[in-house]
Structure 1
């Protein structure tokens, strides 16, 4: 039967490509809510297009108030397996070179366009796995429901709406990440350092420093405005810091410097060049008047040393065997003559607790002279690697790819973070950067086809 199903998928690759192109042509970035369109017109159109595809494939579909759509393999079977995907995308952004982001093209064995790898391509791959089984007469003993959300990228309010009325299935996997399997998603811990000082107008001084646009992203850009500083006379310091931190430092005004680094997600801060931290190092080295504010912010590079992402500066370095190292990155910065505020994002291993993580960070920050606040710790998500569910998914991956399957722990959160027995299962091969969320996002056609075959095999193992 596997050979028959796989041959069907090979023969229908052109149809898969056409359906991905049609789905990705819809700009499904969240917009203003409208009557009957909770996330705007784009997500509404994309969700209903996906439902149309599923209905045309012969599945019974249901629309949950345009938050979520479902397609059932056989409504008479007891619901056992949910497959969870999403139809919304992040904004196109700038820098596309291969194609217009919403005009998917095929080039050199790849599809290029916004959403092809996150998550419309994987959605079609998984839906075609179900279609291949159905059209080849595969009888299941347990039910499979395909769930399509419209708001994963900006809050997952779609899934909250769905699960408010529907129970979780016994098992859930989401083709919205990487193969082989992500069974552990680290916890999250956000902390805010702040300090108020009386204004000291003695020159030279910093008038403002701002960096970062989100607490969960390494800042790419920092802007510093000075008063009374001869920037040109300190070019050697600028050059030294630029070389040390591997960033660009440009004079963008008579009294203004802009630092350009490289952004990265907070779950992998080691991939970035933190422009905010580079700015803090720079102002600690420039000949500025040692005001209370200047002395305070000069503590930041000690608490968060440049290039050190293990949390050791604030005393929370830790690791365990399955979920590996804690990561920590300082991502939001604001300094003016009377107020400084900084926000860090730590991704915590399973061993992290309020006592060994939150309390330690709070004491270290307060001892350095900062006020402290936190919304608290978000617990990790763990599905046991030796569970029958995980082992069968790994068996499918190994059977189709011929590669050894293993469980992965990540610092980011996936669509299944709140589900008791949910894992992320593909669809992108581990180690491949498909530029999701960036310009020239792509999905390899051989990856697309192999993922569909893995999903078909997994459905059979779990439900037949």
Structure 2
């Protein structure tokens, strides 16, 4: 029997044990919270780390916690190591679930729960992939570390804490994006467009279900006299705006249609600008920033937040994912020329594009394993997402979503096919073995 068949059979034999462990992790609401003792990103992420370390210890791995931020499960003793890093923090559950968000529900071949895709399910699949290698006692020349992060959804501040105490892997991957292997990640900007409005606007509150990782599905404006205008949309990940309906745009349209006479003229003009510039223009064409290139395609723009301050400033939050050959200065220069009056740009977060050498032998291993396991083209690709590959040296994103699977993470009823979770475990077992043998 070939090593590949041995690993596949061993992975399949671990199904029941894997899902029992996954249920333990999914039951922890590991959303970022206030920093506490031994919990820099909140009690929930810390509990998830501790649980993962207990699971790894029960599987016979060496374990340790690094700066209370990253949990390590290790096989081997050599200094050089292959690093596989997933994360256990999750975005808030939100509304609209058909199943308990913080639990594992398996129905009709699908596994549901917040984090089952992003990223507890795939991270744990990597641990069990290494467990399959361990159980077969396959010879490895490099140490393998499965790393469990705790702050990926809120900026990846856990990685600097890890690297302050530990060396980076010689190579590896994060199971937190898509297949095939991802050699390039677009540049990302999170901006706040600040616009001054008249002091007598009468707007008391401008709020909604607003988060930088999502297309918002609810927005509301309340006037000082209690009169309210609200709008519903459809949520989707912010890197798939075409799959959602943005409630901010819906609210602006509702404001323009309102006949109460409460809306000041400057706010009406702003709402008109917002609709004309942003409605269904996910490539940024309405703002003159519709860049694209051969490597990564078109720019992607998502309004995710709209609020008003006590000093009568409208604040519009935007996420922009721009092609790998474009610069931040190009984006800001074009954008500055297309703002409403009395506006300015504040850069909240900036992540330049990253590119991994396409000729690197690690990508060849990933391509070969993926093609053998799926029969599909494994040519490396680029992504609109932001993963640990931006923060951890020498790694790329690899899985867990297969081509055509998009817009599932961060939504209600987040799910993965049971068959895909097991296929991921097979792919990861073979990849880890090939990289470390």
TM over 0.5: yes
Q: Report the secondary structure of 1:361's partner residue.
A: helix
Name the structure 2 match of 1:234. Answer: none
Q: Report the secondary structure of 1:165's partner residue.
A: coil
Name the structure 1 match of 2:192. Answer: 192
Distance 1:335 1:88 in 2: 30
Is the 1:358–1:377 contact (alpha carbons within 8 Å) kept by the matching residues of 2?
no
Where do 5+ consecutive residues of structure 2 fail to align? Answer: none
Residue 172 in structure 1 maps to residue 144 in structure 2: no
Distance 1:322 1:38 in 2: 37
C-alpha distance after superposition, 1:328-348 (max 9, x if no partner): 123322469954332322111
Name the structure 1 match of 2:324. Answer: 350
Name the structure 2 match of 1:244. Answer: none
Aligned partner of 1:281 among 232, 244, 253:
253
TM-fit CA distance, 1:173: 0.3
Name the structure 1 match of 2:86. Answer: 85
**TM-score, length of structure 2 as denominator length:** 0.88
Q: CA-atom RMSD, angstroms?
A: 2.8
C-alpha distance after superposition, 1:178-234 (max 9, x if no partner): 222222221112333333344468xxx877655562345333223245699xxxxxx
Is the 2:296–2:382 contact (alpha carbons within 8 Å) kept by the matching residues of 1?
yes
Label 1:221 to 1:31 Cα distance change in 2 as closer, same or farther (>3 A). closer
TM-fit CA distance, 1:174: 0.8
TM-fit CA distance, 1:317: 0.8
**TM-score, length of structure 1 as denominator length:** 0.84
Question: 394-403 vs 352-361, which deviates more?
Answer: 352-361
What number of residue pairs does the alignment pair up? 431
TM-fit CA distance, 1:433: 5.2
Is the 2:173–2:389 contact (alpha carbons within 8 Å) kept by the matching residues of 1?
yes
Name the structure 2 match of 1:9. Answer: 11
Question: Aligned ranges for residues 85-104 of structure 1 at < 5 Å?
Answer: 85-98=86-99, 100-104=100-104
Residue 159 in structure 1 maps to residue 159 in structure 2: yes
Name the structure 1 match of 2:334. Answer: 360
Name the structure 2 match of 1:241. Answer: none
Distance 2:113 2:266 in 1: 51
Q: Report the secondary structure of 2:236's partner residue.
A: coil
Residue 300 in structure 1 maps to residue 267 in structure 2: no
Where do 5+ consecutive residues of structure 1 fail to align? Answer: 229-252
Question: 332-341 vs 43-52, which deviates more?
Answer: 332-341
Question: 346-355 vs 295-304, which deviates more?
Answer: 295-304
Is the 1:397–1:454 contact (alpha carbons within 8 Å) kept by the matching residues of 2?
yes
Name the structure 1 match of 2:342. Answer: 370
Name the structure 2 match of 1:137. Answer: 137
Name the structure 1 match of 2:215. Answer: 218
Larger Rg, first or second structure (1 or 2): 1
Is the 1:329–1:344 contact (alpha carbons within 8 Å) kept by the matching residues of 2?
yes
Distance 1:16 1:194 in 2: 48
